Chains A and B, each alone.
Chain A
């Protein structure tokens, strides 16, 4: 059919052409005829080879893995594919990140977590045309088992994490096939903000990413964020364990709110109602009274605040510390700040790859800190703000904009993204906060800030049942509901203090991200309950 069409067109044109052009046209027509003949022959060849494909057993869709056999086959990791493995025949399992067919060959990018490598199926003595065609048609994100030989490359492959080698595929089997249409493209999800607009390419907005979290979590950025988050937890645990702390588990279903009743989730509990814990505060303290001396706790914390901001979640992971001290609550501050500095150092020294990966999509200044940590007093902060033209009352709490401004001022003077603000006004702190012995307007309490945003709130706690009762009455708290808590201090309680950090916030601010949902794997906020 094609052939007829071409000829028909040339005949029509012939009439309109001059004699001079006639010869040329004739030659071209001959050429076209030859080409068509060749194509027909090729098609015939293909037909025959399809009938006996010599590479039939080298590709295909595997039967569902139901553990029917236990193969003695070693699968290598993509990150281990280096020139040292050159010319070896290896097996690996990976996702098809992208594929691009080009004549007799098909280029694939195979991905494992944040690592990827270029692979090639080319028609030859190992692969048939049908095999190349099959490889080209594997849908993106499908999982494949591949046997391939590792080859060094002349030119570095800039688009892959393994730049010095490529894989020449000899066998390829699909283990799990992805549906052809993806709800979002991984390339679009990792594109830096603004870059897409310039090139007219798509970027994915956050809600779409969160709605399809499982796919979004596969991006290099997400992989790096959550590997770093795991690092934060591990560094937190390791540092505190080395300091002689004990990890505890506390109940999350509680009978009384620890930090005011306003922002607490109520759950029905058989014939009565209960609350979801806003912090393990009371339990940490009871452990101190039970002679555990230094405790920490990693677990979920719930806040029923109906605030849809970049830094609020309704459920997050709290890293909580409580410790008995000898004479001054600064022993606690020093212990906590040192832990934070160890975390920052650990991330700086061991997670540079992950930090760089996140920076590619979300560029930010490296996180700066001082050792020992800078400690400023509340009055100093007020003086700095006053100098910058902010008028505030002595006993007024810092508003979020003022916190941010203060963070900028501190950064300008001390060049640190992490500092402690000590000696908050007593009036703005919870009832269990110990008043300052020298000035009853102030308290032995402190906040810690990262990039100008609060990550930790802590204080010396009142360990005297009498004073605690007074403070609770002053805050108009129903003594009956916190009886068990107050009673725990009646039988000898050591002076103690502590604080709680939000894991998601620490990760967000360390990486300089702008939304806490980016560092929460399955975020919960007033408007999101799924996935």
Chain B
């Protein structure tokens, strides 16, 4: 407080503070990396997680990738706007957001639209702390703008000139996932992924207790045949099903295969944003 004379902080103290912040942040990152490694080693199914690592190809990529996926732009930020109702946070989209952040330089911002008030603080910080460079929007490849708004279902707006707004969490999730990994090229496999995504959002998340039980049984038998929902590889089906199981609160009551799969999902470390909001 001695340095706080006339509301001004001594620049030397400020610099020292900034250096300390950097060191602490680096320590945290190191700790997180070590924990991730430990999980892979101690996981019941270590091989599975390694295949996931390769299939999602989580190395940072150049903007030319986005050019082929989204078409050329004019050197400005490509901003994905997602409107969601705070009464039903779209867990799967938050999970996909954290996956996007591992792949691209993403500028993440959370806003509250004037149509809603009293948004809980955990929803305001659900995309993590703001990036240190967030003052310079042009330094980012992708914008992820989450707006808490009074909408009946989640909605995405991207290229307003060429695309109509995308309605529904499942459809937005499909769009975001395609920025991370290609859909299976085999039409049968691709359809299987889509059908699990639909099942998750329409029957698991919104269905009656009876329907939910039936879906959980189907999940269990599918997971008896394959390590992941739609085959040998992790896919959007796993993201959707995991989030909807979590949201419906039926994780603890599920059968053995589902339990094992939940554990594998959690070991990947991508699902913490969903986990935090359902606790």
Contacts and interface: CB of A to CB of B under 8 A. Distances in A.
Interface string A321-362: 000001010100000000000001100100000000000000
B74 A386 contact: yes
A372 interface: yes
A415 B76 contact: no
Given A330-B135, A414-B81, A409 B114 contact: no
Contact of A293 (B7, B159, B161): B7
Contacts of A376: 137
Contacts of A386: 74
For B112, B114, B147, B157, the residue with the greatest tally of chain A CB atoms inside 10 Å of its CB is: B114
A345 B114 CA distance: 8
A253 B159 CA distance: 50
A72 interface: no
Contacts of B147: 370, 414-415
Contacts of A388: 161
A199 interface: no
A478 interface: no
B31 interface: no
A371 B112 contact: yes
Interface stretch (A122-130, A168-176, A215-223, A377-385): A377-385
Interface string A130-162: 000000000000000000000000000000000
A345 B116 CA distance: 11
A374 B79 CA distance: 12
Interface string B157-184: 1011100000000000000000000000
Contacts of A382: 74, 76
B116 to A, nearest CB: 10
A3 interface: no
B137 to A, nearest CB: 5
Interface residues of A, number: 33
Interface string B63-79: 00000000001111101
Contact of A383 (B73, B83, B113, B115): B73
Interface of A: 291, 293, 326, 328, 330, 344-345, 348, 366-372, 374-377, 379-380, 382-384, 386-388, 409, 412-416
A158 B95 CA distance: 54
B164 to A, nearest CB: 11
Contacts of A328: 135
Interface string B10-32: 00000000000000000000000
B251 to A, nearest CB: 34
B135 A413 contact: no
B77 A372 contact: no
Interface in B132-165: 135, 137-138, 145, 147, 149, 157, 159-161
B111 interface: yes
Nearest to A329: B135
Interface of B: 6-7, 9, 73-77, 79, 81, 83, 109, 111-115, 135, 137-138, 145, 147, 149, 157, 159-161
B75 A370 contact: no
Contacts of B79: 380, 413
Given A291-B6, A370-B112, A383-B74, 9 more contacts: A326-B9, A328-B135, A348-B114, A368-B113, A368-B115, A380-B138, A383-B75, A383-B76, A415-B83
Contact of A368 (B114, B159, B161): B114
A370 B112 CA distance: 5
A344 B6 CA distance: 32
B111 A370 contact: yes
A377 B111 contact: no
A409 B160 contact: yes
B114 A370 contact: yes
18 contacts: A293-B7, A328-B135, A344-B114, A368-B115, A370-B114, A370-B147, A371-B114, A372-B111, A374-B145, A375-B137, A376-B137, A377-B77, A377-B137, A379-B76, A379-B138, A380-B137, A413-B157, A415-B147
A416 B111 CA distance: 11
A376 B79 CA distance: 10
Nearest to A375: B137
B264 to A, nearest CB: 38
Contacts of B137: 375-377, 380
A379 B147 CA distance: 22
A352 to B, nearest CB: 13
Contacts of B74: 382-383, 386-387
B114 A367 contact: yes
A350 to B, nearest CB: 14
B160 A413 contact: yes
A387 B75 contact: no
A415 B160 CA distance: 12
Contacts of A291: 6
Nearest to A333: B135
A376 B107 CA distance: 12
Contacts of A368: 113-115
A369 B114 contact: yes
A503 B79 CA distance: 32
A438 to B, nearest CB: 8
B129 to A, nearest CB: 14
Contacts of A369: 113-114
A186 B151 CA distance: 41
A131 B9 CA distance: 77
Contacts of A293: 7
Contacts of B135: 328, 330
A377 B137 CA distance: 7
Nearest to B76: A383
B142 to A, nearest CB: 13
Contact of B160 (A366, A371, A412, A416): A412
A371 B113 CA distance: 7
Contact of A371 (B9, B75, B111, B145): B111
A388 B162 CA distance: 10
B145 to A, nearest CB: 7
A345 B135 CA distance: 25
A427 B19 CA distance: 37
A344 B112 CA distance: 13
Contacts of A374: 111, 145
A437 to B, nearest CB: 11
Contacts of B115: 368
A416 B6 CA distance: 38
8 closest pairs, A vs B, by CB? A383-B76, A370-B111, A380-B76, A383-B74, A371-B112, A387-B161, A369-B114, A413-B160
Given A328-B135, A387-B159, A409-B160, A380 B77 contact: yes
A370 B73 contact: no
Contacts of B7: 293
Contact of A377 (B81, B138, B145, B157): B138
